[in-house]
Amino acid sequence: MADDVKRSRGALAAEERRKFDQYLEAFEALRDRQSQVDAIRDDLKAHAPKLDDKFQKPTETNRLEAQFDIAAAALITGLTNVVTLVSGGGGQHYISYPELGIPVDGHHYGHGGGIDGKNYEDCFVAVRQYHAKLIAKLANKLDSMKEGDGTMLDNTLIVYLSDSGDGHHPNLTEWPVILLGNLGGKLKTAGRYLQFPQYGAKGHRTMANFYLGLLQAAGKPRDKFGVADPGLKDIDQSGAIGELLT
């Protein structure tokens, strides 16, 4: 099919040929991707998540646990080197956790509401502890897989952060982040707590600087990330956070 497409290409005008080339490139990328999947078919079968209750019953905790299992399998088999897992983010989908004794959604306790004797802080603690257990399970799976002179966990970085920074309706002047792992020794993370100056103060850094640090550690350095904050005119927003790098 690809050969037929290439033979037809010469009959097209320049603009149509450019569009045609994009279609051909997409087709070839899909073909190459399928070839890669075929090459690791045995590994995929060996590490595929078991289709247990997590995949059969559509509860919020089951969905999230299933997504963690799929992410672990994708990393272990080499389908991807990066995964993003989101708990109740995006649009107006605020999930609840009745299995954790929290039958109300995050919007409710995000505005200070409680439920069944739990105040909003109790709800947040229960959800974060649940997230931490899932992250620990993922880390243990990666730690059980040999890679090079160590394990996959030795070469991995897990980033746990809020989707709304410093509050339910945030100003985004604070953004706590938890890092687990060090990307093969490229980041200084173990046993450390870093707190940078408040928004606008000398030495203040942004989330863009944080992401630039991850890019540098991954061997893809850049000077800038995203759109600069116009409220920080006197603060350099370029470059990585040096305190994170080895």
Q: Give the pLDDT confidence score for residue 92 in this predicted structure.
A: 58
- Render pLDDT for 191-244 as a digit per residue (tens, 0 to 9): 999 999 999 998 999 999 999 999 999 999 999 999 999 988 888 899 999 999
* pLDDT < 70 stretches in the chain: 1-2, 89-93
| Joined tokens for residue 109 | 């306790």
Give CA–CA dist 118/102, Å, rounded.
9
Q: Give the pLDDT confidence score for residue 15 in this predicted structure.
A: 85
CA distances from 47 to 26, 51, 134, 149, 228 (A): 28, 12, 18, 21, 42
In 87-217, the DSSP E strands lie at 96-97, 102-105, 146-147, 150-151, 157-161, 177-181
**Residue of 165, 182, 197, 196 lying closest to 245 (CA atoms):** 182
Q: Give the pLDDT confidence score for residue 154 in this predicted structure.
A: 95
**Residue of 207, 219, 227, 224 lying closest to 245 (CA atoms):** 219
Give CA–CA dist 19/25, Å, rounded.
10
Residue pair 114/106 in contact by the 8 Å Cβ criterion: no
Q: Give the pLDDT confidence score for residue 233 in this predicted structure.
A: 82
**Residue of 186, 192, 190, 163 lying closest to 176 (CA atoms):** 163
Give CA–CA dist 65/53, Å, rounded.
10
Give CA–CA dist 67/92, Å, rounded.
20
Distance of CA 180 to the CA centre of its chain: 13
The length of the chain, given as a count of residues: 246
CA distances from 21 to 8, 14, 29, 31 (A): 11, 10, 12, 15
Q: Looking at the whole model, is its pTM more than 0.85?
A: no
| Joined tokens for residue 22 | 């994009």
Q: Give the pLDDT confidence score for residue 91 in this predicted structure.
A: 56
DSSP string covering 127-161: HHHHHHHHHHHHHHHHHTSEETTEETGGG-EEEEE
- Render pLDDT for 93-109 as a digit per residue (tens, 0 to 9): 678 899 999 999 888 88
Give CA–CA dist 111/123, Å, rounded.
12
Give CA–CA dist 114/116, Å, rounded.
7
**Residue of 82, 71, 111 lying closest to 183 (CA atoms):** 82
| Joined tokens for residue 114 | 């409680």
Q: Give the pLDDT confidence score for residue 90 in this predicted structure.
A: 54
